[in-house]
Structure 1
């Protein structure tokens, strides 16, 4: 449970950006497949950003908890996909 909470704390700064991107994707095309493809791209970009900048120190904390960077970003992607599918479902109901 502590590991999951640690992953959520890592995901917290990315939530706002993810929501904004989801809103833009929903405005142009409210389909789930393009939104998930966009989320894959954003997750890879976030991994690159964190691993190639001074923010790399953040990954050390998660490695000490026993969470590999792959596992960290994979779970972050899954959480993001769940939120995206929920948001797009609600968006399609009201448009």
Structure 2
């Protein structure tokens, strides 16, 4: 999936959620007063939207981690090298 697909999923999900309210005549009520078609469209609209939002959330989380790594590297570079005492070398006992 890419961002274009995710936007498509989000748009389709929104349409699926709003369609029963926008055109109630297309979804006749059953014996219990509810429309299974409308409920199904609304449920699938939520699922479509959740798929898109989870993609955008993962994309944002990845970008946030990448930026945090850059900040950490910049902080380490500003701190400078770690200096050993003059009478010791790395590896001497």
Question: Of the two structures, which has the highest relative contact order with CA contacts closer than 8 Å and spacing of 6 or more?
Answer: 1
TM-score category of the 2 structures, normalised to the smaller one:
0.3 to 0.5
TM normalised by structure 1 equals 0.37
Q: Quick check: which one's helix share is greater?
A: 1
Larger radius of gyration: 2
TM normalised by structure 2 equals 0.37
